[in-house]
Structure 1
Amino acid sequence: MSSAVQQSYRICEQIGKGRFGVVYKCYSSETGEEFAVKSINKILISDDSIDRQCLYNEAKIMQLVSPHPHIVRIAHVYEDDVYLDIVLELCCSSDLFQRLESRGVFTESDALAVMVPLMEAIAHCHKLSIAHRDIKPDNILFNDRNVLKLADFGSAHCFHNGELMNGVVGTPFYVAPEVLAGKKYDEKVDIWSAGVILYVMLAGVPPFYGESTAEIFDAVIRGNLRFPSRIFQAVSPAAKGLIRGMICKDVSRRFSAQQVLRHPWITNNDETKKVAVLA
Protein backbone atom coordinates (compact mmCIF):
# COMPACT_ATOMS: atom_id res chain seq x y z
CA MET A 1 0.00 0.00 0.00
CA SER A 2 1.28 3.47 -0.87
CA SER A 3 2.60 5.69 1.90
CA ALA A 4 0.29 8.51 0.74
CA VAL A 5 -2.88 6.56 1.49
CA GLN A 6 -1.50 5.47 4.84
CA GLN A 7 -0.86 9.10 5.74
CA SER A 8 -4.44 10.11 4.92
CA TYR A 9 -6.30 7.05 6.22
CA ARG A 10 -6.10 4.72 9.20
CA ILE A 11 -6.01 1.24 7.66
CA CYS A 12 -7.97 -1.48 9.47
CA GLU A 13 -9.04 -5.05 8.80
CA GLN A 14 -9.08 -6.78 5.43
CA ILE A 15 -12.60 -7.11 4.04
CA GLY A 16 -11.94 -8.53 0.60
CA LYS A 17 -9.34 -9.97 -1.75
CA GLY A 18 -8.87 -10.33 -5.50
CA ARG A 19 -6.21 -11.63 -7.86
CA PHE A 20 -4.05 -8.53 -7.68
CA GLY A 21 -5.27 -6.58 -4.71
CA VAL A 22 -6.69 -6.52 -1.23
CA VAL A 23 -9.58 -4.44 0.10
CA TYR A 24 -9.32 -2.96 3.58
CA LYS A 25 -11.68 -1.01 5.77
CA CYS A 26 -10.20 2.37 6.62
CA TYR A 27 -10.98 5.67 8.31
CA SER A 28 -10.15 9.19 7.20
CA SER A 29 -7.49 10.61 9.51
CA GLU A 30 -9.08 14.03 9.07
CA THR A 31 -12.82 13.32 9.45
CA GLY A 32 -13.05 9.79 10.89
CA GLU A 33 -15.37 8.78 8.05
CA GLU A 34 -15.36 5.09 7.07
CA PHE A 35 -14.17 3.99 3.62
CA ALA A 36 -12.88 0.95 1.76
CA VAL A 37 -9.49 1.06 0.07
CA LYS A 38 -8.68 -1.29 -2.79
CA SER A 39 -4.90 -1.67 -2.85
CA ILE A 40 -3.48 -3.18 -6.06
CA ASN A 41 0.08 -4.40 -6.36
CA LYS A 42 1.08 -3.32 -9.88
CA ILE A 43 4.13 -5.60 -9.87
CA LEU A 44 1.77 -8.58 -10.11
CA ILE A 45 0.29 -7.25 -13.37
CA SER A 46 2.17 -7.26 -16.65
CA ASP A 47 2.44 -3.91 -18.45
CA ASP A 48 0.53 -5.05 -21.53
CA SER A 49 -2.16 -7.08 -19.78
CA ILE A 50 -5.88 -6.35 -20.04
CA ASP A 51 -5.99 -6.47 -16.24
CA ARG A 52 -3.80 -3.36 -15.99
CA GLN A 53 -6.04 -1.56 -18.47
CA CYS A 54 -9.15 -2.52 -16.47
CA LEU A 55 -7.67 -1.31 -13.18
CA TYR A 56 -6.86 2.15 -14.54
CA ASN A 57 -10.13 2.19 -16.44
CA GLU A 58 -12.10 1.58 -13.24
CA ALA A 59 -10.66 4.60 -11.43
CA LYS A 60 -11.11 6.86 -14.45
CA ILE A 61 -14.71 5.88 -15.17
CA MET A 62 -15.79 5.94 -11.53
CA GLN A 63 -14.62 9.53 -11.36
CA LEU A 64 -16.75 10.30 -14.44
CA VAL A 65 -19.95 8.73 -13.08
CA SER A 66 -19.61 10.11 -9.53
CA PRO A 67 -21.42 11.40 -7.67
CA HIS A 68 -24.67 9.46 -8.02
CA PRO A 69 -26.82 8.18 -5.15
CA HIS A 70 -26.80 4.61 -6.51
CA ILE A 71 -23.19 4.29 -7.67
CA VAL A 72 -20.32 3.55 -5.30
CA ARG A 73 -18.56 6.85 -4.67
CA ILE A 74 -14.84 7.13 -5.35
CA ALA A 75 -13.11 9.33 -2.79
CA HIS A 76 -9.47 9.36 -3.85
CA VAL A 77 -6.87 7.60 -5.99
CA TYR A 78 -3.25 7.23 -4.88
CA GLU A 79 -0.41 5.75 -6.90
CA ASP A 80 3.30 5.16 -6.48
CA ASP A 81 5.78 2.89 -8.25
CA VAL A 82 4.31 -0.26 -6.69
CA TYR A 83 0.70 0.38 -5.64
CA LEU A 84 -2.51 1.76 -7.08
CA ASP A 85 -4.87 2.52 -4.19
CA ILE A 86 -8.52 3.40 -4.81
CA VAL A 87 -10.46 4.77 -1.83
CA LEU A 88 -14.18 4.02 -2.15
CA GLU A 89 -17.41 4.43 -0.26
CA LEU A 90 -17.77 1.56 2.20
CA CYS A 91 -20.61 -0.87 1.42
CA CYS A 92 -20.45 -3.41 4.21
CA SER A 93 -23.92 -4.95 3.98
CA SER A 94 -24.57 -8.14 1.99
CA ASP A 95 -24.57 -7.77 -1.80
CA LEU A 96 -27.47 -8.82 -4.03
CA PHE A 97 -25.85 -12.18 -4.81
CA GLN A 98 -25.74 -13.03 -1.10
CA ARG A 99 -29.32 -11.86 -0.64
CA LEU A 100 -30.49 -14.01 -3.53
CA GLU A 101 -28.69 -17.00 -2.04
CA SER A 102 -30.30 -16.52 1.36
CA ARG A 103 -33.80 -15.59 0.20
CA GLY A 104 -34.24 -17.59 -3.01
CA VAL A 105 -37.17 -15.68 -4.52
CA PHE A 106 -38.11 -12.01 -4.09
CA THR A 107 -41.59 -10.58 -3.99
CA GLU A 108 -42.37 -8.16 -6.80
CA SER A 109 -42.22 -5.29 -4.30
CA ASP A 110 -38.71 -6.25 -3.21
CA ALA A 111 -37.62 -6.82 -6.82
CA LEU A 112 -39.00 -3.37 -7.67
CA ALA A 113 -36.96 -1.88 -4.82
CA VAL A 114 -33.82 -3.25 -6.51
CA MET A 115 -34.73 -2.45 -10.09
CA VAL A 116 -35.57 1.24 -9.63
CA PRO A 117 -32.22 2.35 -8.17
CA LEU A 118 -30.30 -0.09 -10.38
CA MET A 119 -31.90 1.26 -13.54
CA GLU A 120 -31.42 4.85 -12.35
CA ALA A 121 -27.70 4.10 -12.01
CA ILE A 122 -27.55 2.43 -15.43
CA ALA A 123 -29.50 5.30 -17.04
CA HIS A 124 -27.05 7.77 -15.50
CA CYS A 125 -24.10 5.86 -16.96
CA HIS A 126 -25.69 5.60 -20.40
CA LYS A 127 -26.47 9.33 -20.41
CA LEU A 128 -22.75 9.90 -19.89
CA SER A 129 -21.95 7.47 -22.76
CA ILE A 130 -20.62 4.79 -20.39
CA ALA A 131 -21.59 1.13 -20.57
CA HIS A 132 -20.92 -0.92 -17.42
CA ARG A 133 -20.72 -4.28 -19.28
CA ASP A 134 -20.72 -6.47 -16.16
CA ILE A 135 -24.07 -5.95 -14.47
CA LYS A 136 -24.58 -8.90 -12.10
CA PRO A 137 -25.77 -9.45 -8.50
CA ASP A 138 -22.21 -9.52 -7.13
CA ASN A 139 -21.70 -5.94 -8.34
CA ILE A 140 -24.86 -4.63 -6.69
CA LEU A 141 -23.89 -3.58 -3.18
CA PHE A 142 -25.69 -2.01 -0.23
CA ASN A 143 -24.32 0.48 2.26
CA ASP A 144 -25.04 0.55 6.00
CA ARG A 145 -28.31 2.42 5.34
CA ASN A 146 -29.33 -0.35 2.92
CA VAL A 147 -29.06 1.94 -0.13
CA LEU A 148 -28.23 0.14 -3.38
CA LYS A 149 -24.88 1.00 -4.98
CA LEU A 150 -23.67 -0.20 -8.39
CA ALA A 151 -19.98 -1.16 -8.22
CA ASP A 152 -17.02 -2.57 -10.17
CA PHE A 153 -16.46 -0.52 -13.32
CA GLY A 154 -13.38 -2.49 -14.39
CA SER A 155 -15.09 -3.71 -17.58
CA ALA A 156 -16.85 -0.42 -18.33
CA HIS A 157 -16.32 1.39 -21.61
CA CYS A 158 -16.89 4.94 -22.87
CA PHE A 159 -18.75 5.19 -26.17
CA HIS A 160 -19.36 8.36 -28.15
CA ASN A 161 -21.56 9.42 -31.06
CA GLY A 162 -23.23 6.05 -31.44
CA GLU A 163 -19.90 4.20 -31.42
CA LEU A 164 -20.28 0.44 -31.03
CA MET A 165 -18.15 -1.66 -28.69
CA ASN A 166 -16.50 -5.05 -29.01
CA GLY A 167 -14.74 -7.58 -26.82
CA VAL A 168 -16.15 -10.47 -24.79
CA VAL A 169 -16.69 -9.19 -21.26
CA GLY A 170 -19.31 -10.00 -18.66
CA THR A 171 -20.43 -13.01 -16.63
CA PRO A 172 -21.93 -16.23 -18.11
CA PHE A 173 -25.54 -16.10 -16.85
CA TYR A 174 -25.87 -12.35 -17.37
CA VAL A 175 -23.95 -11.54 -20.57
CA ALA A 176 -25.93 -10.48 -23.65
CA PRO A 177 -25.99 -12.79 -26.71
CA GLU A 178 -24.50 -10.20 -29.09
CA VAL A 179 -21.39 -10.05 -26.90
CA LEU A 180 -20.89 -13.81 -27.11
CA ALA A 181 -21.59 -13.83 -30.85
CA GLY A 182 -18.57 -11.60 -31.41
CA LYS A 183 -20.66 -8.79 -32.86
CA LYS A 184 -20.21 -5.12 -32.19
CA TYR A 185 -22.71 -3.98 -29.60
CA ASP A 186 -24.05 -0.96 -27.77
CA GLU A 187 -24.94 -0.02 -24.20
CA LYS A 188 -28.11 -2.13 -24.28
CA VAL A 189 -26.00 -5.08 -23.17
CA ASP A 190 -26.54 -3.63 -19.68
CA ILE A 191 -30.33 -3.78 -20.13
CA TRP A 192 -30.17 -7.49 -21.00
CA SER A 193 -28.08 -8.17 -17.88
CA ALA A 194 -30.45 -6.18 -15.66
CA GLY A 195 -33.38 -8.08 -17.17
CA VAL A 196 -31.72 -11.36 -16.24
CA ILE A 197 -31.32 -10.07 -12.69
CA LEU A 198 -35.05 -9.25 -12.56
CA TYR A 199 -35.88 -12.73 -13.85
CA VAL A 200 -33.61 -14.35 -11.25
CA MET A 201 -35.13 -12.31 -8.42
CA LEU A 202 -38.68 -13.34 -9.35
CA ALA A 203 -37.95 -16.95 -10.35
CA GLY A 204 -35.02 -17.98 -8.17
CA VAL A 205 -33.31 -19.44 -11.26
CA PRO A 206 -31.64 -17.88 -14.32
CA PRO A 207 -33.51 -17.80 -17.65
CA PHE A 208 -30.63 -19.48 -19.51
CA TYR A 209 -28.91 -22.42 -17.88
CA GLY A 210 -26.26 -25.03 -18.60
CA GLU A 211 -24.03 -27.49 -16.77
CA SER A 212 -20.89 -25.80 -18.08
CA THR A 213 -19.88 -22.33 -19.21
CA ALA A 214 -20.09 -23.45 -22.85
CA GLU A 215 -23.65 -24.74 -22.33
CA ILE A 216 -24.67 -21.52 -20.61
CA PHE A 217 -23.26 -19.49 -23.50
CA ASP A 218 -25.12 -21.66 -26.02
CA ALA A 219 -28.37 -21.12 -24.10
CA VAL A 220 -27.80 -17.36 -23.95
CA ILE A 221 -27.07 -17.15 -27.69
CA ARG A 222 -30.28 -19.10 -28.45
CA GLY A 223 -32.12 -16.69 -26.15
CA ASN A 224 -35.20 -18.86 -25.83
CA LEU A 225 -36.93 -16.94 -23.04
CA ARG A 226 -39.60 -18.91 -21.17
CA PHE A 227 -41.79 -18.35 -18.13
CA PRO A 228 -42.53 -21.81 -16.64
CA SER A 229 -46.03 -21.68 -15.14
CA ARG A 230 -45.03 -23.51 -11.95
CA ILE A 231 -42.47 -20.77 -11.23
CA PHE A 232 -44.21 -17.69 -12.65
CA GLN A 233 -47.84 -18.41 -11.73
CA ALA A 234 -47.82 -15.65 -9.09
CA VAL A 235 -45.82 -13.14 -11.17
CA SER A 236 -47.81 -10.31 -12.74
CA PRO A 237 -48.20 -9.91 -16.52
CA ALA A 238 -46.61 -6.46 -16.21
CA ALA A 239 -43.44 -7.90 -14.67
CA LYS A 240 -43.20 -10.54 -17.40
CA GLY A 241 -43.78 -7.88 -20.04
CA LEU A 242 -40.91 -5.82 -18.68
CA ILE A 243 -38.62 -8.86 -18.67
CA ARG A 244 -39.52 -9.57 -22.32
CA GLY A 245 -38.62 -6.02 -23.25
CA MET A 246 -35.26 -6.25 -21.47
CA ILE A 247 -34.25 -9.80 -22.42
CA CYS A 248 -34.91 -9.25 -26.11
CA LYS A 249 -32.50 -10.68 -28.69
CA ASP A 250 -33.44 -8.00 -31.22
CA VAL A 251 -31.38 -5.09 -29.90
CA SER A 252 -33.42 -2.57 -31.88
CA ARG A 253 -36.51 -3.68 -29.94
CA ARG A 254 -34.80 -4.10 -26.58
CA PHE A 255 -35.75 -1.42 -24.08
CA SER A 256 -33.45 1.44 -23.23
CA ALA A 257 -32.79 2.33 -19.59
CA GLN A 258 -35.31 5.17 -19.78
CA GLN A 259 -37.95 2.89 -21.31
CA VAL A 260 -37.47 0.49 -18.40
CA LEU A 261 -37.95 3.31 -15.90
CA ARG A 262 -41.13 4.39 -17.72
CA HIS A 263 -42.59 0.87 -17.84
CA PRO A 264 -45.98 0.43 -16.09
CA TRP A 265 -44.57 -2.25 -13.74
CA ILE A 266 -42.40 0.50 -12.27
CA THR A 267 -44.53 3.62 -12.71
CA ASN A 268 -47.81 2.05 -11.51
CA ASN A 269 -46.38 0.78 -8.25
CA ASP A 270 -46.56 2.67 -4.99
CA GLU A 271 -43.74 5.19 -4.66
CA THR A 272 -43.19 4.17 -1.04
CA LYS A 273 -42.06 0.73 -2.20
CA LYS A 274 -39.17 2.15 -4.21
CA VAL A 275 -36.61 1.79 -1.46
CA ALA A 276 -33.69 -0.54 -0.98
CA VAL A 277 -34.63 -4.19 -0.63
CA LEU A 278 -34.76 -5.48 2.91
CA ALA A 279 -31.67 -7.29 4.17
Structure 2
Amino acid sequence: MKEVLNDDYQLTEEIGRGRFGVVYRCYSTVSGDSFACKSIDKRLLSDNTDRECLEKEPKILHILGGNPNIVQIHRIYEDDDYLHMIIDLCDSPDLFERISNRAGVFSETEAASVFSPLISSISYCHRLGIAHRDIKPDNVLFDSRGNLKLADFGSAEWFAMNERGTMSGIVGTPYYVAPEVLSGREYNEKVDVWSAGVILYIMLAGVPPFYGDSPEETFEAVLRANLRFPTRIFRSVSPEAKDLLRKMLCKDVSRRLSADQVLSKS
Protein backbone atom coordinates (compact mmCIF):
# COMPACT_ATOMS: atom_id res chain seq x y z
CA MET A 1 0.00 0.00 0.00
CA LYS A 2 2.91 2.37 0.69
CA GLU A 3 4.00 1.79 -2.92
CA VAL A 4 0.56 2.83 -4.19
CA LEU A 5 0.64 5.92 -1.97
CA ASN A 6 4.08 6.84 -3.33
CA ASP A 7 2.80 6.41 -6.89
CA ASP A 8 0.08 8.99 -6.25
CA TYR A 9 1.75 11.40 -3.82
CA GLN A 10 5.31 12.49 -3.13
CA LEU A 11 5.85 12.92 0.62
CA THR A 12 8.30 15.64 1.65
CA GLU A 13 9.05 17.11 5.06
CA GLU A 14 7.37 16.37 8.40
CA ILE A 15 5.10 19.22 9.50
CA GLY A 16 3.45 17.73 12.60
CA ARG A 17 3.54 14.85 15.02
CA GLY A 18 1.02 13.30 17.40
CA ARG A 19 0.72 10.33 19.74
CA PHE A 20 0.13 7.81 16.97
CA GLY A 21 1.49 9.31 13.81
CA VAL A 22 3.17 11.95 11.73
CA VAL A 23 1.84 14.59 9.32
CA TYR A 24 3.88 15.18 6.17
CA ARG A 25 3.66 17.79 3.46
CA CYS A 26 3.05 16.06 0.15
CA TYR A 27 2.04 16.80 -3.41
CA SER A 28 0.10 14.95 -6.07
CA THR A 29 2.32 13.35 -8.70
CA VAL A 30 -0.49 13.95 -11.22
CA SER A 31 -1.65 17.51 -10.55
CA GLY A 32 1.26 18.88 -8.52
CA ASP A 33 -1.21 20.24 -5.93
CA SER A 34 -0.02 20.34 -2.31
CA PHE A 35 -1.68 18.34 0.49
CA ALA A 36 -0.90 16.91 3.91
CA CYS A 37 -0.53 13.19 4.60
CA LYS A 38 -1.53 12.08 8.10
CA SER A 39 0.19 8.71 8.63
CA ILE A 40 -0.96 6.73 11.66
CA ASP A 41 1.00 3.72 12.94
CA LYS A 42 -1.75 1.28 13.90
CA ARG A 43 0.73 -0.77 15.95
CA LEU A 44 0.80 2.08 18.50
CA LEU A 45 -2.95 1.86 19.13
CA SER A 46 -3.05 0.19 22.52
CA ASP A 47 -6.77 -0.05 23.27
CA ASN A 48 -10.20 -0.26 21.67
CA THR A 49 -10.93 3.44 22.20
CA ASP A 50 -7.88 4.46 20.17
CA ARG A 51 -8.81 1.99 17.41
CA GLU A 52 -12.40 3.30 17.35
CA CYS A 53 -11.10 6.87 16.97
CA LEU A 54 -8.91 5.78 14.08
CA GLU A 55 -11.82 4.11 12.28
CA LYS A 56 -14.23 6.93 13.02
CA GLU A 57 -12.29 9.98 11.84
CA PRO A 58 -12.15 9.18 8.08
CA LYS A 59 -15.88 8.28 8.06
CA ILE A 60 -16.81 11.52 9.81
CA LEU A 61 -14.60 13.61 7.52
CA HIS A 62 -16.34 12.04 4.51
CA ILE A 63 -19.75 13.00 5.94
CA LEU A 64 -18.54 16.55 6.55
CA GLY A 65 -17.01 16.85 3.07
CA GLY A 66 -17.55 20.07 1.15
CA ASN A 67 -17.53 22.55 4.02
CA PRO A 68 -14.86 25.22 3.41
CA ASN A 69 -14.11 25.57 7.14
CA ILE A 70 -13.54 21.86 7.86
CA VAL A 71 -10.41 19.95 6.85
CA GLN A 72 -11.26 17.85 3.79
CA ILE A 73 -10.15 14.27 3.28
CA HIS A 74 -9.12 13.45 -0.29
CA ARG A 75 -7.76 9.87 -0.28
CA ILE A 76 -7.18 6.99 2.15
CA TYR A 77 -4.51 4.31 1.94
CA GLU A 78 -4.44 1.50 4.48
CA ASP A 79 -2.48 -1.67 5.11
CA ASP A 80 -1.92 -3.89 8.16
CA ASP A 81 0.37 -1.42 9.91
CA TYR A 82 -0.54 2.08 8.70
CA LEU A 83 -3.44 4.32 7.80
CA HIS A 84 -2.52 7.24 5.51
CA MET A 85 -5.05 10.06 5.05
CA ILE A 86 -4.50 12.69 2.36
CA ILE A 87 -6.06 15.88 3.73
CA ASP A 88 -5.99 19.64 3.15
CA LEU A 89 -2.60 21.23 3.74
CA CYS A 90 -2.84 23.76 6.58
CA ASP A 91 0.66 25.20 6.80
CA SER A 92 -0.08 28.57 8.42
CA PRO A 93 0.24 28.90 12.23
CA ASP A 94 -2.73 27.31 14.03
CA LEU A 95 -4.89 29.29 16.46
CA PHE A 96 -2.87 28.08 19.47
CA GLU A 97 0.29 29.54 17.92
CA ARG A 98 -1.49 32.75 16.95
CA ILE A 99 -2.76 33.25 20.50
CA SER A 100 0.63 32.33 22.03
CA ASN A 101 2.57 34.68 19.74
CA ARG A 102 0.43 37.74 20.36
CA ALA A 103 1.36 38.63 23.97
CA GLY A 104 -1.66 40.95 23.83
CA VAL A 105 -5.26 40.15 22.95
CA PHE A 106 -7.39 40.18 19.81
CA SER A 107 -9.59 43.15 19.03
CA GLU A 108 -13.27 42.25 18.69
CA THR A 109 -12.97 42.58 14.91
CA GLU A 110 -9.94 40.25 14.83
CA ALA A 111 -11.64 37.76 17.16
CA ALA A 112 -14.78 37.81 15.01
CA SER A 113 -12.77 36.97 11.88
CA VAL A 114 -11.73 33.71 13.59
CA PHE A 115 -14.86 33.06 15.62
CA SER A 116 -17.41 33.42 12.81
CA PRO A 117 -16.00 30.65 10.54
CA LEU A 118 -15.32 28.49 13.63
CA ILE A 119 -18.91 28.65 14.89
CA SER A 120 -20.13 28.19 11.30
CA SER A 121 -18.17 24.93 11.02
CA ILE A 122 -19.50 23.74 14.41
CA SER A 123 -23.06 24.57 13.37
CA TYR A 124 -22.57 22.57 10.16
CA CYS A 125 -21.33 19.55 12.14
CA HIS A 126 -24.31 19.73 14.51
CA ARG A 127 -26.82 19.95 11.66
CA LEU A 128 -25.37 16.67 10.36
CA GLY A 129 -25.64 15.07 13.81
CA ILE A 130 -21.93 15.19 14.65
CA ALA A 131 -20.31 16.70 17.77
CA HIS A 132 -16.56 17.42 17.62
CA ARG A 133 -16.02 17.13 21.42
CA ASP A 134 -12.45 18.49 21.39
CA ILE A 135 -12.74 22.08 20.17
CA LYS A 136 -9.51 23.86 21.16
CA PRO A 137 -7.07 26.30 19.49
CA ASP A 138 -4.68 23.46 18.51
CA ASN A 139 -7.45 21.99 16.32
CA VAL A 140 -8.27 25.29 14.60
CA LEU A 141 -5.97 25.34 11.57
CA PHE A 142 -5.41 27.77 8.67
CA ASP A 143 -4.37 27.15 5.09
CA SER A 144 -1.91 29.27 3.11
CA ARG A 145 -4.73 31.67 2.13
CA GLY A 146 -5.70 32.20 5.77
CA ASN A 147 -8.91 30.14 5.56
CA LEU A 148 -9.90 28.55 8.88
CA LYS A 149 -10.17 24.73 8.92
CA LEU A 150 -11.53 22.81 11.90
CA ALA A 151 -9.50 19.60 12.28
CA ASP A 152 -8.90 16.44 14.33
CA PHE A 153 -12.22 14.60 14.54
CA GLY A 154 -10.78 11.60 16.43
CA SER A 155 -12.96 12.35 19.48
CA ALA A 156 -16.08 13.22 17.45
CA GLU A 157 -19.36 11.39 17.95
CA TRP A 158 -22.56 10.82 15.98
CA PHE A 159 -25.06 12.04 18.56
CA ALA A 160 -27.87 11.67 16.03
CA MET A 161 -27.43 7.88 16.25
CA ASN A 162 -28.78 8.01 19.81
CA GLU A 163 -32.57 8.41 20.15
CA ARG A 164 -32.12 11.04 22.86
CA GLY A 165 -29.32 12.77 20.97
CA THR A 166 -27.01 12.43 23.95
CA MET A 167 -23.44 11.23 24.44
CA SER A 168 -21.30 10.07 27.34
CA GLY A 169 -17.64 9.64 28.18
CA ILE A 170 -15.05 12.11 29.43
CA VAL A 171 -13.27 13.51 26.39
CA GLY A 172 -11.78 16.91 25.72
CA THR A 173 -9.00 19.10 27.08
CA PRO A 174 -8.56 21.04 30.35
CA TYR A 175 -9.66 24.72 30.00
CA TYR A 176 -11.99 23.89 27.09
CA VAL A 177 -14.10 20.95 28.29
CA ALA A 178 -17.71 21.63 29.37
CA PRO A 179 -18.77 21.06 33.01
CA GLU A 180 -21.41 18.48 32.13
CA VAL A 181 -18.72 16.30 30.52
CA LEU A 182 -16.59 16.39 33.67
CA SER A 183 -19.58 15.64 35.91
CA GLY A 184 -19.98 12.24 34.25
CA ARG A 185 -23.55 12.91 33.11
CA GLU A 186 -24.87 12.38 29.61
CA TYR A 187 -24.53 15.50 27.49
CA ASN A 188 -25.46 16.91 24.08
CA GLU A 189 -23.71 18.73 21.25
CA LYS A 190 -23.73 22.04 23.16
CA VAL A 191 -20.43 20.94 24.70
CA ASP A 192 -18.89 22.32 21.49
CA VAL A 193 -20.58 25.69 22.06
CA TRP A 194 -19.02 25.85 25.53
CA SER A 195 -15.55 25.10 24.11
CA ALA A 196 -15.96 27.74 21.39
CA GLY A 197 -17.01 30.21 24.10
CA VAL A 198 -13.80 29.49 26.00
CA ILE A 199 -11.79 30.19 22.84
CA LEU A 200 -13.63 33.49 22.28
CA TYR A 201 -13.01 34.51 25.92
CA ILE A 202 -9.28 33.72 25.58
CA MET A 203 -9.00 35.74 22.35
CA LEU A 204 -10.64 38.77 23.99
CA ALA A 205 -9.03 38.49 27.45
CA GLY A 206 -5.69 36.76 26.88
CA VAL A 207 -6.46 34.33 29.72
CA PRO A 208 -8.90 31.39 30.03
CA PRO A 209 -12.16 31.96 31.95
CA PHE A 210 -11.67 28.93 34.22
CA TYR A 211 -8.22 27.73 35.27
CA GLY A 212 -6.09 26.41 38.11
CA ASP A 213 -2.49 25.51 38.82
CA SER A 214 -3.08 21.86 37.89
CA PRO A 215 -5.50 19.96 35.64
CA GLU A 216 -7.47 18.97 38.76
CA GLU A 217 -7.82 22.60 39.89
CA THR A 218 -8.78 23.62 36.37
CA PHE A 219 -11.49 20.94 36.27
CA GLU A 220 -12.81 22.17 39.65
CA ALA A 221 -12.96 25.73 38.27
CA VAL A 222 -14.81 24.50 35.17
CA LEU A 223 -17.31 22.60 37.32
CA ARG A 224 -17.97 25.76 39.39
CA ALA A 225 -18.36 27.72 36.11
CA ASN A 226 -18.10 31.04 37.92
CA LEU A 227 -17.78 33.34 34.90
CA ARG A 228 -16.16 36.72 35.57
CA PHE A 229 -15.24 39.73 33.44
CA PRO A 230 -12.41 41.54 35.29
CA THR A 231 -12.75 45.26 34.59
CA ARG A 232 -9.07 45.87 33.82
CA ILE A 233 -9.16 43.13 31.14
CA PHE A 234 -12.65 43.67 29.72
CA ARG A 235 -12.77 47.47 29.85
CA SER A 236 -12.72 47.73 26.04
CA VAL A 237 -14.92 44.68 25.32
CA SER A 238 -18.46 45.52 24.22
CA PRO A 239 -21.54 44.60 26.30
CA GLU A 240 -22.75 42.53 23.30
CA ALA A 241 -19.60 40.37 23.33
CA LYS A 242 -19.86 39.81 27.09
CA ASP A 243 -23.54 38.92 26.74
CA LEU A 244 -22.68 36.35 24.04
CA LEU A 245 -20.02 34.83 26.29
CA ARG A 246 -22.52 34.56 29.18
CA LYS A 247 -24.94 32.69 26.92
CA MET A 248 -22.27 30.32 25.59
CA LEU A 249 -20.51 29.71 28.91
CA CYS A 250 -23.78 29.00 30.69
CA LYS A 251 -23.64 26.02 33.05
CA ASP A 252 -27.38 25.39 32.56
CA VAL A 253 -27.32 23.55 29.23
CA SER A 254 -31.02 24.23 28.58
CA ARG A 255 -30.24 27.97 28.62
CA ARG A 256 -26.97 27.74 26.70
CA LEU A 257 -27.23 28.87 23.09
CA SER A 258 -27.05 26.31 20.29
CA ALA A 259 -24.41 26.74 17.59
CA ASP A 260 -27.12 27.93 15.16
CA GLN A 261 -28.26 30.56 17.68
CA VAL A 262 -24.68 31.76 18.19
CA LEU A 263 -24.20 31.91 14.43
CA SER A 264 -27.25 34.13 14.07
CA LYS A 265 -25.77 36.56 16.63
CA SER A 266 -22.17 36.65 15.35
TM bin, normalised by shorter chain, reads over 0.9
Specify the alignment match of 1:230 in structure 2: 232
In the alignment, the residues of structure 2 paired with residue 4 and residue 183 of structure 1 have an alpha-carbon distance, to the nearest angstrom, of: 46
Matched, 1:140 2:154: no
Return the letter of the residue paired with 2:76: V
1:196-235 matches, within 5 Å, as 196-235=198-237
Matched, 1:28 2:42: no
Specify the alignment match of 2:52 in structure 1: 53
Task: Point out the more displaced range, 204-213 or 51-60.
Answer: 51-60
Specify the alignment match of 2:263 in structure 1: 261
In the alignment, the residues of structure 2 paired with residue 35 and residue 250 of structure 1 have an alpha-carbon distance, to the nearest angstrom, of: 42
Specify the alignment match of 1:109 in structure 2: 109
Task: Give the match's secondary structure for 2:110.
Answer: helix
Return the letter of the residue paired with 1:29: T
In the alignment, the residues of structure 1 paired with residue 218 and residue 2 of structure 2 have an alpha-carbon distance, to the nearest angstrom, of: 41
In the alignment, the residues of structure 2 paired with residue 93 and residue 138 of structure 1 have an alpha-carbon distance, to the nearest angstrom, of: 12
In the alignment, the residues of structure 1 paired with residue 2 and residue 81 of structure 2 have an alpha-carbon distance, to the nearest angstrom, of: 8
In the alignment, the residues of structure 2 paired with residue 170 and residue 216 of structure 1 have an alpha-carbon distance, to the nearest angstrom, of: 13
Q: Which runs of 5+ in 2 are unaligned?
A: none
Task: Please point out which of 231, 242, 245 is paired with 1:243.
Answer: 245
Q: TM-score, normalised by structure 2?
A: 0.97
Return the letter of the residue paired with 2:201: Y
Q: Which runs of 5+ in 1 are unaligned?
A: 267-279
Specify the alignment match of 2:131 in structure 1: 131
Q: Is the 8 A contact 1:2 1:82 kept in 2?
A: no
Q: TM-score, normalised by structure 1?
A: 0.92
Q: Is the 8 A contact 1:76 1:87 kept in 2?
A: yes
Return the letter of the residue paired with 1:64: I
Task: Point out the more displaced range, 21-30 or 125-134.
Answer: 21-30
Deviations 1:124-154 (A, max 9, x none): 0000000000000000000000011100000
In the alignment, the residues of structure 1 paired with residue 114 and residue 18 of structure 2 have an alpha-carbon distance, to the nearest angstrom, of: 26
Task: Point out the more displaced range, 18-27 or 137-146.
Answer: 18-27
Return the letter of the residue paired with 2:22: V
Matched, 1:12 2:21: no
In the alignment, the residues of structure 2 paired with residue 13 and residue 107 of structure 1 have an alpha-carbon distance, to the nearest angstrom, of: 35
Residue 115 of structure 1, CA deviation: 1.0
Residue 83 of structure 1, CA deviation: 0.8
Task: Give the match's secondary structure for 1:58.
Answer: helix
Specify the alignment match of 1:276 in structure 2: none
Return the letter of the residue paired with 1:220: V
Specify the alignment match of 1:155 in structure 2: 155
Return the letter of the residue paired with 2:34: E
Residue 258 of structure 1, CA deviation: 1.0
Percentage of matched positions with identical amino acids: 59
Return the letter of the residue paired with 1:189: V
Q: Is the 8 A contact 1:208 1:219 kept in 2?
A: yes
Q: What is the alpha-carbon root mean square deviation over aligned residues?
A: 1.0
Task: Give the match's secondary structure for 1:13.
Answer: strand
Residue 163 of structure 1, CA deviation: 2.1
In the alignment, the residues of structure 2 paired with residue 181 and residue 145 of structure 1 have an alpha-carbon distance, to the nearest angstrom, of: 40
Task: Point out the more displaced range, 100-109 or 215-224.
Answer: 100-109
1:171-182 matches, within 5 Å, as 171-182=173-184
Q: Is the 8 A contact 1:71 1:121 kept in 2?
A: yes
Residue 5 of structure 1, CA deviation: 1.4
In the alignment, the residues of structure 1 paired with residue 79 and residue 7 of structure 2 have an alpha-carbon distance, to the nearest angstrom, of: 13
Task: Point out the more displaced range, 129-138 or 49-58.
Answer: 49-58
Moved over 6 A (4+): none
Residue 3 of structure 1, CA deviation: 2.4
Aligned length: 263
In the alignment, the residues of structure 2 paired with residue 134 and residue 102 of structure 1 have an alpha-carbon distance, to the nearest angstrom, of: 22
Matched, 1:68 2:67: yes
